[in-house]
Amino acid sequence: MTIPVDIAALGARAAGMIEELGRISSTPDHLTRFFLTPEHRQAADHVARWMAAAGLTVSEDALGTVRGHWHPAGPEAPRLLIGSHIDTVANAGKYDGTLGVVLGILAVEAVQKAGLTPPYGIDVLAFGDEEGTRFPTTLSSSAACAGVFQPASLGGLDSDGVSLAEALVAYGKDPAAIAAAAYDPSRVIAYVEAHIEQGPVLEAEAEPLGVVTAIAGASRLSITVTGEAGHAGTVPMRMRRDALLGAAEMALAVERIARADRHGMVATVGRMHVEPGSVNVIPSRVVFTVDLRSGSDSSRREALTRFEREAHRIADDRHLGVVISAFHEVATVPCYRDLQLRLRNAVADLGHRAPELASGAGHDGQAMSQLCPVGMLFVRCKGGISHNPAEYASPEDMGMAAAALIRFIERFQLPQRDGGTSGAQT
């Protein structure tokens, strides 16, 4: 069957729901909603009410993930998972994460009301720790669903010295029940997420939706450059061991390496601490960070090797010391090719071309990929702006995304297992 879709109505509903959830914040003048805070509790309850109104049965697991269940073939049938997150960064936009939850609810509601009875169920998931803004963890909610949560992270502390375990208890959860949050891999078909692009490509291509090919792998480095402090007015330039100038040259080197890459690599030096930090003293020590992301793990590893070589060359030339340490490493997650095809076909049915894009941002799909095949649909956002109050997706584009998810669901069939290389079949 082909379910009738009213794109304008779907978009208007999505916009209204986004505005509602966007008002739930710890601060009155901008949106901040961290994991396991009273604001997270309020938002989770709000989402639960939406799910119930859409005809879904609602539950919540030990990591606070709100789950809306629709199981027309019974609770033992395999299920498709659709979701995203409802936590935010500080001073956030309204659409990041929340849009995927809203679109999942709207799509399943429409399919259910149309009388479709597929031989599988659907769970809509609202995760709570994708941004990693409160604790030194990220993706803990989706990791619990995927069965890969690390218990050691329960000891991680927020800025007030509250541990993740203590926050869970205060939120009304039992940390001992986290293992029970894991899905049985044999009963999960796939995980699909709709998300704003957080970049400018779809806007440049004049297309509302895109299909994600992979979630980029990421490496984060801390680089310590040591030189020698000296008087800014008395040490000749040729005799200086200026740690900041060495660090600056290294930062330019990583930019050069990323620009030369053919896999859409991006590199960011986001933090730099200079000592002693006086206007009239030559810097003696600099610590800076590098965030390197690519859709190709081999390309990223090669870039890291090149950067390390360049950093040591620069340090030798300037008579500096340099120590490079990695503190974060996430592998690239390819999106399942059959899910890509089905999402692309769903967009084509609506009269649009869906450009292929790699996601440079992290997503819950990275954790969920350890449970099942993952697919992602990107939604155009104005100016490519995200993690910013100016973040915006139009009602028309959101309605188109909801309609694409409806088309995806109505034509989704159970996969034929072939050793892990096939997903949903056409």
Quickly tell me which residue has 């990275």 as its tokens: 366
pLDDT value at position 327? 85
pLDDT of residue 290: 97
- pLDDT at residue 360, as a whole number: 87
Is the C-alpha dihedral spanning 241, 244, 245, 247 positive or negative? positive
| pLDDT score at 421 | 36
Q: What is the pLDDT of residue 418?
A: 42
Per residue of the chain (426 residues), give pLDDT as tens. Answer: 789 999 999 999 999 999 999 999 999 999 999 999 999 999 999 999 999 999 999 999 999 999 999 999 999 999 999 999 999 999 999 999 999 999 999 999 999 999 999 999 999 999 999 999 999 888 999 999 999 999 999 999 999 999 999 999 999 999 999 999 999 999 999 999 999 999 999 999 999 999 999 999 999 999 999 999 999 999 999 999 999 999 999 999 999 999 999 888 999 999 999 999 999 999 999 999 999 999 889 999 999 999 999 999 999 999 999 999 998 888 999 999 999 999 999 999 999 999 999 898 889 999 999 999 999 999 999 999 999 999 999 999 999 999 999 999 999 976 554 433 334 433
Label the pairing between strands 321-330 and 217-226: antiparallel
Residue type, 312: H
How is the chain split into domains, by residue range? 7-215+332-410, 217-330
What's the CA gap between 405 and 380, in Å, rounded?
Answer: 15
pLDDT of residue 413: 76
What is the predicted pLDDT for the residue at 329? 87
The CATH architecture to which 217-330 belongs is 2-Layer Sandwich (3.30)
Q: 7-215+332-410 and 217-330 share one CATH topology?
A: no
Give the position of tokens 């089905």: 342
Per DSSP, the three-state class of 347 is: helix
pLDDT of amino acid 368: 97
Count other C-beta atoms under 10 Å from residue 42's C-beta. 15
Domain 7-215+332-410, CATH among 3.40.462.20, 3.40.1390.10, 3.40.630.10, 1.10.1490.10: 3.40.630.10
* Rounded-to-integer distance, Cα 222 and Cα 354, Å: 38
